[in-house]
Amino acid sequence: MTTNKSKIFLYFCLSFILGVALRSFFDISFFQSYILFLTSLVIAILSPKTRWLAMGGFFLFLGILIYNLNLPELSKNKISFYNNQNQNISFQGIIAKEPEIEIDKQNLTIESEAAFINQRWQKISGRVLIGVKLYPRYSYGDRIEIKCGLKSPEKIENFDYAAYLSPQKIYSLCYYPKIKILSDNQGNAFLAKILKIKNKLQSIINYSLPEPHASLFSAIFLGNRSALPQELLEKFKRAGISHIIAISGLHVAIIGLILSNLFLLFCLPKKYAFYLSSVSLFLFVVLTGARSSVIRAGIMGFLILLAEKEGRLKNSLNALVFTAALMILFNPFLLKNDIGFQLSFLAVLGIIYFYPFFDNLKFLQKLPDFLKSIFSVTLSAQLATLPLIIYYFHYYSIIAPLTNLLILPALPLMMALGFLFIFIGLFYPPLAKFLFVFVYLILDYIIKITGII
């Protein structure tokens, strides 16, 4: 009976996800989906034997409905209503995310609050992505007044920019506007403190390490990729280790399992290794700014840790699908338009199903458990995500397993030392700079291995 309930639960979750998927690719009206709902209801009433099957139709309808309800409204109280009007509009809003710093500009995500329309300020809502010069610098929580012409995101060659921005609920763009700061510290107080700590840690890293080592450590440890040299990014791509600087479910799952095995290596009981690894993942999510994409990746990574602790990876499919369904419920655009979400889900799915196979291969049995786990996790995740990587990026490195085997064992040691030395740097920076020599050597090893291979 328990097995049947488990299968029914999985069936309902998959039906909901399928409903969102169908609506993501096809224009299905509310009326059409409502016919599906009524048909399912009638079948469930008239044929009790197929009741559970018919109930799947209800969850399919629910998925379509949720997607339709999240589509942007074209109303005068939405900022996107004023896109492409060939005239400037003045509006006020709060910087809702940490500014993204690029080589020649800043990208600010604005949660709009009011717009100057018909000679008066009116309440308005919706997000706008604006590009501004590098200076002056802006901060999360700044309330600003902006004057510019709003544009709708459009396709850039083969890149669907509108689809890329839709999971972030951004439907308006604005480039190099006139800006006036009205006030500061208007955002979430908890997130503001996290970002303040993150900026402090970034300054310690910049003080303690030279380039490109500081940028590489910031990308791995804090998720700051903006300062990484393009040449180094290309080398990482060719070597098949881009995942170590991209916060995704693959990245977090690998880090979590490596930490878990590292703690086991020090003869800690499995239960305590799980708790310490989970706390480490939580701290990692917080230190990287608690962005929604990182939180999703952290949840996926935690599922793998939990499944490994219970010793039943294959039985964690329900938990994974339910988690995915819950994320899609809150943001249905993730399923089609968020590559990170797709890769995270497939990476964890791959670890669930392929990890036991690779872990039992004869030629891996000669390796220490720590290295065997790293190799098995990496191969499992990369095998599952391979089709999607080739589809989206038209590229895959055949030497990825070798470079991962050489580089991944160094990551937990580097992160553990880095965390310790950064903590010391909060109180005595000169000592931290001296101790960071050990982190520098590991980073230099990673850079040199990537360059050789």
Averages of pLDDT over runs of 10 residues in the chain (453 residues) are 71 91 88 81 74 82 90 85 88 90 86 90 92 89 92 83 87 91 87 84 90 87 77 78 67 68 70 78 72 73 71 70 88 87 83 81 72 75 80 72 74 78 86 90 88 70
Q: Is residue 322 part of a domain?
A: yes
pLDDT at 370: 66
Q: Does residue 297 fall inside a structural domain?
A: yes
pLDDT of residue 1: 43
The whole-angstrom separation of Cα 119 and Cα 131 is 26
Looking at the fold, whether 6 and 57 belong to one and the same domain comes out as yes
pTM: 0.78
Angle, CA of 317, 370 and 434, to the nearest 5°: 115
405 and 273 both lie in a single domain: yes
159 plus 262 within the same structural domain: no
Tell me, yes or no, whether 212 and 149 share the same domain: no
Assess if residue 191 is contained within a domain: no
Residues 373 and 432 in one domain: yes
CA distance 369 to 267: 12
Same domain flag for 244 and 264: yes
Same domain, 275 and 375: yes
Instruction: CATH number of the domain at 147, please.
Output: 2.40.50.140
Spatial distance between the Cα atoms of 150 and 144, rounded to a whole number of angstroms: 16
In a domain, 190, yes or no: no
**175 and 302, same domain (yes or no):** no
Tokens for 402? 């070798």
Q: pLDDT per residue over 16-46, tens digit each?
A: 999 999 999 988 888 888 887 788 777 777 7
Taken in order 93, 197, 220, 340, the sign of the CA dihedral is: negative
**DSSP H/E element including 452:** helix 429-452
Angle at which helix 429-452 crosses helix 410-425, to 10 degrees, equals 160
Among 153, 183, 213, give the residue marking a domain's end.
183
200 and 178 share one domain:
no
CA-to-CA distance for 78 and 74, rounded, in angstroms?
Answer: 7
CB environment 376-403: b (16+ within 10 A), e (fewer): bbbbbbbbbbeeebeeeeeeebeebeeb
In terms of Cβ atoms closer than 10 Å to its own Cβ (0-12, 13-18, 19+), residue 295 is middle
Residue 127 has a pLDDT of 93
355 close to 313: Cβ distance less than 8 angstroms: yes
What secondary structure, in 3-state letters, does 231-299 show?
Answer: HHHHHHHHHCCHHHHCCCHHHHHHHHHHHHHHHHHCCCCHHHHHHHHHHHHHHHHHHCCCCHHHHHHHH
Which residue range(s) make up the domain with 49?
2-69
Number of domains in the chain: 3
Domain assignment present for residue 188? The answer is: no
Give me 326's structure tokens: 């819950």
Is the domain of 106 the same as that of 135?
A: yes
Which one-letter DSSP state was computed for residue 78? B
Q: Are strands 178-183 and 143-148 parallel, antiparallel or unpaired?
A: antiparallel
In a domain, 45, yes or no: yes
Q: How far apart are CA 389 and CA 397, in angstroms?
A: 10
How far apart (Å, rounded) are the C-alpha atoms in residues 178 and 424? 42
First vs last C-alpha separation in the chain: 54
Residue 189 lies in a domain: no
Domain end call among 162, 183, 204: 183
Rounded CA-CA distance 270/107 in Å is 44
Pairing of strands 159-160, 155-156: antiparallel
Same structural domain, 275 and 319: yes
- Paired strand residues for 91: 115, 146
47 with 126, same domain? no
Domain boundary among 183, 213, 237: 183
In a domain, 277, yes or no: yes
